[in-house]
Structure 1
Amino acid sequence: MIDIHSHILPAIDDGARNMDMTLSMLHMSVESGVTDIIATPHVNRGGHVPSWQEIEEKTAQVTDAAKEAYLPIHIYSGAEIELNGDVLRFLKEGSRDYCLAGSPYILLELTDQSQPDMSERLIYELQLRGFWPILAHVERYGQLMSHPDILISWAKKGILLQCNIGSFTGYFGQHLQRHAENLYQNHLVHFLGSDGHRTEFRTTDMREGQDALRSLQQKQHNQQDLWLETTQNASRILNHRVLYPDVPEHWQVKKKGLWHRLFS
């Protein structure tokens, strides 16, 4: 597995507090079968934009520490960028600062205040500058999940979608679990990430999520092996290759059974 969304860098955002915690998080990743992980600290959240040099330096420090601890995992630089007008100031055409693993891919985060039409215009401007957008933890955005036709339209325009694996376990509540399962049913999960922040909660341990995906595949009689498919997709990030996923024409939601309709 390739974890494309994590907050493992020490003392840079609300993720790992120190290097000891970072190494514990990486150990959890290795135990989960993760071979590669991209460090994606928050950028532009609350207007705070850590320098790309600081992110790269911390990534190099974590890489050295992981080698000393004999942890078999590859670590790459990246960022989780809050999407607003300020991104046009520091995401320059031709630059790979704040991109994932040196590729043109960028991981973008919406807020509760984000309006889909404005967000789409900003993303389009970033695409014109040569960036390949990935929308982080898409299952969280009620303004999109309540209008899935927008999601399908965005996917057709090259906007890729990432889900947090914890959403499939119900860790973030049943509401987000249903969103994640509906995205899976419609083949609109292109990448998975732990979005790991700490060792006590919201960890980088993805084993329970992998079990949840197996159960969901059986329950929905779906032939899609999401764990394998998203790993293959993520390898395209590491190899700087474009991903052209199949996009559904229409959004489908599994109908509820008669018993559920009568008593819900």
Structure 2
Amino acid sequence: MFGNLFSRTQKKDEIPPQDFSVLNTDMHSHLIPGIDDGAKTLEESLELVRGLIKLGFSGAITTPHVMGDYYPNNGAIISSGCITLQEAIRREGLNFRLEASAEYNIDSYTAELFEQGDILFMPGKRILVELSFFAPPPDLENRIFQLRIKGYYPILAHPERYSYYMGSRSDIERICDLGCDLQVNILSLAGYYGNSIAKWAKTLVEAGMVSYLGTDMHHIRHLKALEDALKHKDILRLLQRYSFKNKDLFNE
């Protein structure tokens, strides 16, 4: 069994964190300007980076969409945009480490990229994948299995937001058993997408099934919502009680 569903450790009672610094690294965002539905300009990208610093993050692995029908990005496009943003961060004198991977939609376009080896990995050959919001791909289990056979470690983005998995622990456990980690959006926990999604997201975290938290930040509205999320005592308690793998990403 590839998964390690219940390996999250619960921390001893202590003073809850006041920001997201315990995570250290954000591993899901859309900061590179002009290549997906995230930041539109370099100035907006820098404002989002400043916001992440204020929220307590010391770095990010930004993950623009790779989606054949809408955002047919590839490694070259993403890497070029990342370099531009890295240079701007240095010019601004910001103490923030930025690297790039991608949020790969499970579709025929990404399947071809994977076959070509055109993949921008996170450390440890981790790869963030997302599904359609309408229905899971019929070959999802095989796609995850094939990634694992090749030595890649898939992370499923925001499983709490897929309505067809809502409330189904067995479906989520099956995905984890195939060797796929889970990443939940902080905004989901804060109720940004609705109360039912917030409840389901907290259930997954409290069940010890979630390895990563991410901002999934696209724009200034998300930044403001993340600032408001720090007012949620239940989110701060989750950061206190459960250990997430974000903090180890840049240490591998």
Give the TM-score of the pair, scaled to structure 2.
0.82
Deviation at 1:66, TM superposition (A): 0.7
Once residues 217 and 31 of structure 1 are traced to their aligned partners in structure 2, the CA distance between those partners, rounded to angstroms, is 16
Question: In the alignment, what sits opposite 1:260?
Answer: none
Q: 1:148 to 1:85 in 2, by over 3 A?
A: farther
Deviation at 1:103, TM superposition (A): 3.8
- 4+ runs deviating over 4 angstroms: none
Question: In the alignment, what sits opposite 1:133?
Answer: 154
Once residues 40 and 216 of structure 1 are traced to their aligned partners in structure 2, the CA distance between those partners, rounded to angstroms, is 23
Match for residue 69 of structure 2 among 36, 46, 70? 46
Question: In the alignment, what sits opposite 1:24?
Answer: 47
Once residues 166 and 46 of structure 2 are traced to their aligned partners in structure 1, the CA distance between those partners, rounded to angstroms, is 35
Report whether the alignment pairs 1:225 with 2:241. Answer: yes
Report whether the alignment pairs 1:118 with 2:130. Answer: no
Deviation at 1:216, TM superposition (A): 4.9
Unpaired segments ≥5 residues, structure 1: 241-264
Question: In the alignment, what sits opposite 2:19?
Answer: none
The 3-state SS of whatever aligns with 1:86 is helix
Equivalent pair of 1:170/1:177 in contact (CA under 8 Å) = yes
Question: In the alignment, what sits opposite 1:237?
Answer: 249
1:97-112 equivalence runs, <5 A: 97-100=119-122, 103-112=124-133
Once residues 81 and 156 of structure 2 are traced to their aligned partners in structure 1, the CA distance between those partners, rounded to angstroms, is 24
Once residues 57 and 217 of structure 1 are traced to their aligned partners in structure 2, the CA distance between those partners, rounded to angstroms, is 36
Deviation at 1:96, TM superposition (A): 6.5
Partner amino acid for 1:6?
A: S
Once residues 149 and 251 of structure 2 are traced to their aligned partners in structure 1, the CA distance between those partners, rounded to angstroms, is 21
The 3-state SS of whatever aligns with 2:27 is strand
Q: 1:58 to 1:86 in 2, by over 3 A?
A: closer
Aligned length: 229
Partner amino acid for 1:29?
A: L
Partner amino acid for 2:241?
A: D
Equivalent pair of 1:8/1:39 in contact (CA under 8 Å) = yes
Question: In the alignment, what sits opposite 1:170?
Answer: 191
The 3-state SS of whatever aligns with 2:56 is coil
Specify the structure having the higher radius of gyration (Cα): 1
Q: 1:216 to 1:195 in 2, by over 3 A?
A: closer
Equivalent pair of 1:10/1:19 in contact (CA under 8 Å) = yes
Q: 1:57 to 1:217 in 2, by over 3 A?
A: closer
1:184-203 equivalence runs, <5 A: 184-199=205-220, 201-203=221-223
Once residues 89 and 236 of structure 2 are traced to their aligned partners in structure 1, the CA distance between those partners, rounded to angstroms, is 34
Unpaired segments ≥5 residues, structure 2: 1-23
Once residues 183 and 234 of structure 1 are traced to their aligned partners in structure 2, the CA distance between those partners, rounded to angstroms, is 17
Once residues 58 and 189 of structure 2 are traced to their aligned partners in structure 1, the CA distance between those partners, rounded to angstroms, is 21
Equivalent pair of 2:192/2:225 in contact (CA under 8 Å) = no
Partner amino acid for 2:63?
A: T
Report whether the alignment pairs 1:15 with 2:12. Answer: no
CA RMSD of aligned residues (A): 2.3
Once residues 204 and 131 of structure 1 are traced to their aligned partners in structure 2, the CA distance between those partners, rounded to angstroms, is 34
Deviation at 1:198, TM superposition (A): 0.8
Once residues 53 and 240 of structure 2 are traced to their aligned partners in structure 1, the CA distance between those partners, rounded to angstroms, is 24
* Aligned-pair identity (%): 25
The 3-state SS of whatever aligns with 1:6 is coil
Deviations 1:88-117 (A, max 9, x none): 211137x472322x5411100111333365
Report whether the alignment pairs 1:179 with 2:174. Answer: no
Once residues 70 and 195 of structure 2 are traced to their aligned partners in structure 1, the CA distance between those partners, rounded to angstroms, is 31
Question: In the alignment, what sits opposite 1:261?
Answer: none
Deviation at 1:53, TM superposition (A): 1.2
Once residues 223 and 167 of structure 1 are traced to their aligned partners in structure 2, the CA distance between those partners, rounded to angstroms, is 14
Report whether the alignment pairs 1:65 with 2:88. Answer: yes
Once residues 224 and 160 of structure 1 are traced to their aligned partners in structure 2, the CA distance between those partners, rounded to angstroms, is 20
Partner amino acid for 2:250?
A: L
Deviation at 1:166, TM superposition (A): 0.7
